[in-house]
């Protein structure tokens, strides 16, 4: 005989011998309810929650010979069974709600972090923009960087095809050019573009790996550059760092560190500004001396 939970049909017959006199319909219904109880036991429902169901099943077994009483008992059993199912559904929903609340708190925290970062960048831009004209020029410079770089690359490719043995334009400019201090080529790769003189340095020679902290060599290099740039006639020096694998914010923070180092070494704050690193060769930090040594 198949075991149904803690009850079997044989057990039910022992509890109430008159079960043998019951009709086939009530016997089938009783077996169905026993299977329902067995399923709940397999689902590890606590015993105290199943106790009322067991008690009702015993009463159903006793009343099986009386169809009217049996029907009432079975209705009670169905109500108890539904109550347990509702409780289990509520427990599951409670767990789902708790999970959703944790996810919501996580998203709210991320949102607040992004809002704080956005506010910080806006404040930084406001502090670095000395006037409306400077702000407009800075925005134009950011928008035109890719186009300028593309034009320069095309021009260099044309020159390279025409004169392959010609010296690179990245050599240090002649000290005789007015307003350009001598010796800049000792600390950076120097090239003249349409928008001014470019001083480019590998980021790896300024910062420790995956860091926003200047190395001793990087600090000394920027100190030497600042000493030379104080004598230049450039009205503005734009600090740019190429986009980093960690994201735009990482490049912005490195550019801020370079700008502070130049300021601390005597470059007036009104001559310094941050600019987008779009168009700067990968892994490169650049100081753009606006208007200085510009080529037509």
CATH number at residue 200: 3.30.1330.60
Report the pLDDT value the prediction gives residue 153, as an integer from 0 to 100. Answer: 59
Residue 213: inside a domain, yes or no?
yes
Which has the higher per-residue pLDDT, 142 or 209?
Answer: 209
Which of 68, 101, 128 is the C-terminal boundary of a domain? 128
Q: Per-residue confidence at 134, pLDDT binned at 50, 70, 90?
A: low
Please indicate, yes or no, whether residues 138 and 284 belong to a single structural domain of this protein: yes
Stretch 184-188: mean pLDDT: 83
* Distance in angstroms (rounded) separating the CA atoms of residues 184 and 288: 13
Residues 112 and 151 in one domain: no
Tell me the residue range of the domain where 62 lies.
1-128
Residue 205 belongs to a domain: yes
pTM, rounded to two decimals: 0.41
Residue range 113-125: mean pLDDT, rounded: 79
Do residues 123 and 235 share a domain? no
Same-domain check for residues 114 and 156: no
pLDDT for res 132: 66
CA angle 182, 185, 190 (to 5 degrees): 105
What pLDDT is stored for residue 7 in this prediction?
Answer: 47
Q: Are residues 161 and 59 in the same domain?
A: no
Q: What is the mean pLDDT of the chain?
A: 78
Q: Residue 270 pLDDT > 50, yes or no?
A: yes
Mean pLDDT of 169-178: 43
Residue 202 has pLDDT above 90, yes or no: yes
Other residues' Cβ atoms within 10 Å of the Cβ of residue 142: 17
Residue 230 within any structural domain of the chain: yes
| Residue 264 pLDDT level (bands cut at 50, 70, 90) | very high
The band of 285, judged by pLDDT with boundaries at 50, 70 and 90, is: very high
Q: What confidence category does residue 65 fall into, taking pLDDT thresholds of 50, 70 and 90? A: confident
- Selected residue with higher pLDDT from 231 and 256: 256
Q: Do 247 and 210 lie in a common domain?
A: yes
Q: What are the phi and psi torsion angles at 196 (to 5°)? A: 145, -170
Same domain assignment for residues 138 and 259 = yes
What 3-state DSSP class applies to 243?
A: coil
The total of structural domains in the chain comes to 2
Mean pLDDT of 150-164: 55
- The Cα–Cα gap between 250 and 200 comes to 18
Do 70 and 151 share a structural domain?
A: no
For residues 139 and 279, membership in a common domain is answered with yes
Poorest-pLDDT segment among 74-88, 90-104, 167-181, 203-217: 167-181
The answer to whether residue 71 is domain-embedded is: yes
The answer to whether position 150 is within a domain reads: yes
At 109 the pLDDT is: 79
Burial class (CB in 10 A: 0-12, 13-18, 19+), 270: exposed
Residues 235 and 151 in one domain: yes
Residues 106 and 159 reside in one and the same domain: no
CA pair distance 146, 32, nearest whole angstrom: 76
Are 265 and 159 members of one domain?
yes
Residues 269, 263: contact at Cβ < 8 Å? yes
């Amino acid at each position: 005989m198949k075991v149904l939970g803690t009850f079997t049909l044989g057990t039910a017959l022992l509890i109430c011998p008159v079960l043998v006199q019951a009709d086939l319909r009530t016997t089938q219904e009783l077996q169905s309810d026993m299977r329902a109880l067995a399923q709940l036991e397999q689902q590890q429902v606590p015993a105290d929650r199943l106790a009322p169901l067991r008690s009702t099943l015993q009463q159903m077994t006793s009343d099986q010979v009386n169809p009217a009483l049996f029907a009432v008992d079975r209705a009670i059993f169905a109500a108890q069974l539904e109550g347990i199912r509702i409780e289990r559904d509520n427990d599951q929903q409670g767990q789902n709600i708790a999970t959703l609340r944790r996810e919501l708190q996580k998203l709210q925290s991320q949102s607040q972090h992004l809002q704080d970062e956005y506010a910080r960048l806006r404040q930084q831009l406001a502090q670095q923009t000395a006037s409306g004209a400077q702000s407009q020029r800075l925005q134009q410079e950011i928008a035109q960087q890719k186009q300028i770089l593309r034009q320069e690359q095309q021009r260099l490719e044309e020159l390279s095809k025409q004169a392959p043995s010609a010296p690179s334009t990245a050599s240090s400019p002649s000290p005789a050019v007015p307003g350009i201090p001598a010796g800049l080529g000792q600390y950076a790769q120097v090239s003249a573009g349409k928008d001014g003189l470019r001083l480019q340095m590998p980021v790896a020679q300024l910062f420790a790996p995956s860091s926003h902290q200047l190395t001793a060599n990087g600090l000394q290099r920027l100190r030497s550059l600042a000493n030379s740039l104080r004598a230049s006639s450039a009205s503005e020096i734009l600090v740019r760092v190429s986009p980093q694998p960690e994201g735009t914010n990482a490049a912005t923070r490195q550019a801020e560190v370079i700008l502070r180092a130049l300021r601390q070494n005597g470059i007036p704050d009104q001559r310094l500004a941050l600019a987008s690193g779009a168009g700067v060769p990968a892994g490169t930090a650049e100081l753009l001396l606006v208007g200085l040594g510009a080529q037509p």
